[in-house]
Chain A
Amino acid sequence: MNKPAVDQTRTIDRVNATLKQRYNRERRFRRFGLAAVILGLLFVALMFLNIISQGYSAFYQTRILLDIEYRQEVIDPAGERDPATLSAADYAALVKSALRALYPDVKGRGEKRELYGMVSSGAALVLRQRVMSDPELIGSRQALWLPADDDIDMLVKGRIDRNAPESERRIKNRVLAWVEQLEARGAIEKQFNLGFLTGGDSREPELAGIGGAVMGSLYTLIVTLLLSFPIGVATALYLEEFAPRNRWTDLVEVNINNLAAVPSIVFGLLGLAVFINFFGLPRSAPLVGGMVLTLMTLPTIIIASRAALKAVPPSIREAALGIGASRTQTVFHHVLPLAMPGMLTGTIIGMAQALGETAPLLMIGMVAFIVDIPGGPMDPATVLPVQIFLWADSPERAFMEKTSAAIMVLLGFLILMNVIAVILRKRFERRW
Chain B
Amino acid sequence: MLSITPDTVALGAARKGVITAGFSPVADDARAINGTVGDITSADPRMTARNVNVYYGDKLAINNVSLDIGVNEVIAMIGPSGCGKSTFLRCLNRMNDTIDICRVEGEIRLDDQDIYDSGLDVVPLRAQVGMVFQKPNPFPKSIYDNVAYGPRIHGLTSNKNDLDEVVEQALLKAGLWDEVKDRLDEVGTGLSGGQQQRLCIARTIAVAPEVILMDEPCSALDPIATARIEELIDELREQYTIAIVTHSMQQAARVSQRTAYFHLGELVEVGKTDDIFTTPRHRLTEDYITGRFG
Q: Does B130 touch A at the CB level, under 8 Å?
A: yes
Residue pair B98, A317 in contact (C-beta under 8 Å): yes
**A315 and B203 alpha carbons, distance in the complex (Å):** 14
Instruction: Judge if A324 is at the interface, Cβ distance under 8 Å.
Output: yes
- Is B150 on the interface with A (CB-CB < 8 A)? yes
Say whether B133 contacts A315, CB under 8 Å: yes
Bits for B111-127, please: 1 = Cβ < 8 Å to A, else 0: 00000000000011111
B95 and A318 form a contact (CB under 8 A): yes
Cβ of A432 under 8 Å from chain B: yes
Q: Which residues of B contact A324 (CB under 8 A)?
A: 123-127, 130, 150, 153-154, 207
Partner of A321, one of B126, B132, B187, B204: B126
| Contact in complex: B139, A322 (CB < 8 Å) | no
Q: Are A319 and B138 in contact (CB under 8 A)?
A: yes
Residues of B within 8 A of A320 (CB): 139, 149
The distance from the CB of B196 to the nearest CB of chain A, in whole angstroms, is: 11
Residue of A nearest to B136 (CB): A315
A432 and B141 alpha carbons, distance in the complex (Å): 6
A325 touches B153 (CB 8 A): yes
CB atoms of B133 and A323 under 8 A apart? no
Distance between Cα atoms of A403 and B98 in the complex (Å): 56
B98 touches A321 (CB 8 A): yes
Q: Is the CB of B137 within 8 A of A319?
A: yes
* CA A313 to CA B133, docked complex, whole Å: 13
Q: Which of A295-303, A326-334, A378-386 forms part of the interface with chain B?
A: A326-334
Cβ B149 vs Cβ A316 within 8 A? no
B140 contacts partner chain A, Cβ-Cβ < 8 Å: yes
Q: How far is the CB of A320 from chain B (nearest CB, A)?
A: 7
Residues of B within 8 A of A351 (CB): none
Q: How far is the CB of A93 from chain B (nearest CB, A)?
A: 73
Q: A245 interface residue, CB < 8 Å from B?
A: yes
Binary contact track A418-432/B, C-beta < 8 Å → 1, others 0: 000000000000001
Q: Does A338 contact B (CB under 8 A)?
A: yes
A323 to B140, CA, bound (A): 16
Q: Are B154 and A316 in contact (CB under 8 A)?
A: no
Does B58 sit at the interface, judged by CB under 8 A?
no
Is B93 part of the contact surface with A, judged by Cβ < 8 Å? yes
Chain A positions within 8 Å of B200 at CB level:
319
* Residue in chain A with minimal CB distance to B125: A324
Q: Is the interface of A mostly helix, strand, loop or mixed?
A: helix
Q: Which residues of B lie under 8 Å from residue A325 when comparing CB positions?
A: 123, 149, 153
Q: Mark B164-196, 1 if CB is under 8 A from A, else 0.
A: 000000000000000000000001000000000
CA distance A432 to B188 in the complex (A): 10
B135 at the interface (CB under 8 A from A): yes
Contacts of A321 in B (CB 8 A): 95, 98, 126
B residues contacting the other copy or chain, number (CB 8 A) = 28
Chain A residues, Cβ within 8 Å of B187? 432
Within 8 A of A (CB), among B201-219: 203-204, 207
Query: In the complex, which residues of chain B have a beta carbon less than 8 angstroms from the beta carbon of A245?
Result: 100
Are the CB atoms of A322 and B204 closer together than 8 Å?
A: yes
Question: Contacts of B138 on A, CB cut-off 8 Å?
Answer: 319
Q: How far is the CB of A82 from chain B (nearest CB, A)?
A: 70
Q: Does B268 contact A (CB under 8 A)?
A: no
- In the complex, B77 has a CB within 8 A of chain A: no
Q: In the bound complex, do residue B153 and residue A322 qualify as a contact, i.e. CB atoms below 8 Å apart?
A: no
Q: Is the CB of B137 within 8 A of A318?
A: yes
Bound together, the chains give a CA A245 to CA B100 distance in angstroms of 9
Q: A315-B135, A318-B98, A318-B133 are in contact. Are A323 and B141 (CB under 8 A)?
A: no
Of all chain B residues, the one with the shortest Cβ separation from A337 is B140
Report how far A321 CA is from B90 CA in the complex, Å: 12
B127 nearest in chain A by CB position:
A324
CA distance A318 to B96 in the complex (A): 10
Check if B131 is an interface residue, CB within 8 A of chain A: yes
Interface residues of A in 386-414 (CB under 8 A from B): none
- Once A322-B126, A322-B133 are accepted as A-B contacts, the answer to whether A333 and B149 lie under 8 Å apart by CB is yes
**Chain A residue at minimum C-beta to C-beta distance from B126:** A324
CB distance from B1 to the nearest CB of A (A): 14
Residue of B131, B132, B137, B154 most packed against chain A (CB within 10 A): B137
CA distance A302 to B86 in the complex (A): 35
Does A322 contact B140, Cβ atoms closer than 8 Å? no
A323 and B93 alpha carbons, distance in the complex (Å): 10
Chain B 92-113: CB-based contact to A (< 8 A → 1; otherwise 0)? 0101001010000000000000
User: Which residues of A in the span 158-212 have a Cβ within 8 Å of any Cβ on B?
Assistant: none
Interface string of B236-274 (1 = CB under 8 A from A): 000000000000000000000000000000000000000
Interface contact A338-B140, CB-CB below 8 Å: yes
Chain A residues within 8 Å of B98, by CB: 317-318, 321
| Contact A322/B131 with A245-B100, A329-B153, A333-B149 known, Cβ cut-off 8 Å | yes
Residues of B within 8 A of A432 (CB): 140-141, 187
* CA A320 to CA B133, docked complex, whole Å: 11
Chain B residues with Cβ under 8 A from A323's Cβ? 126-127, 130-131, 149-150, 153, 203-204, 207
Minimal beta-carbon separation of B114 from chain A (angstroms): 18
Chain A residue at minimum C-beta to C-beta distance from B213? A322
By a CB distance below 8 angstroms, the chain A residues around B131 are 318, 322-323
Q: Which B residues lie within 8 Å of A317 (CB)?
A: 98
Note all chain A residues with C-beta closer than 8 A to B207. 323-324
> Nearest chain B CB to A318's CB is how many angstroms away?
6
B130 A319 Cβ-Cβ under 8 A? no
Bound complex: CA A168 to CA B271 (Å): 107
Report A-chain residues with C-beta under 8 Å of the C-beta of B203. 319, 323
Q: Report the Cα distance A334→B139, complex, angstroms.
A: 8
Q: How far is the CB of A297 from chain B (nearest CB, A)?
A: 29
**Beta-carbon contact of B127 and A322 below 8 Å:** no
* Given A318-B131, A326-B153, 20 more pairs with CB closer than 8 A: A316-B139, A316-B140, A318-B137, A319-B133, A319-B203, A321-B95, A321-B126, A322-B93, A322-B130, A322-B132, A323-B149, A324-B123, A324-B124, A324-B125, A324-B127, A324-B153, A325-B123, A333-B153, A432-B141, A432-B187
Q: Which residues of B contact A (CB under 8 A)?
A: 93, 95, 98, 100, 123-127, 130-133, 135, 137-141, 149-150, 153-154, 187, 200, 203-204, 207
For the complex of A and B, 10 pairs with smallest distance between CB atoms: A324-B127, A315-B137, A322-B131, A324-B126, A323-B150, A432-B140, A319-B137, A324-B123, A326-B123, A323-B207
16 pairs from A and B in contact (CB 8 Å cutoff): A313-B137, A316-B137, A319-B137, A319-B138, A319-B200, A321-B95, A322-B126, A322-B130, A322-B131, A323-B127, A323-B150, A324-B125, A324-B130, A324-B153, A326-B153, A432-B140
Instruction: State the A residues within 8 Å of B (CB).
Output: 245, 313, 315-326, 329, 333-334, 338, 432
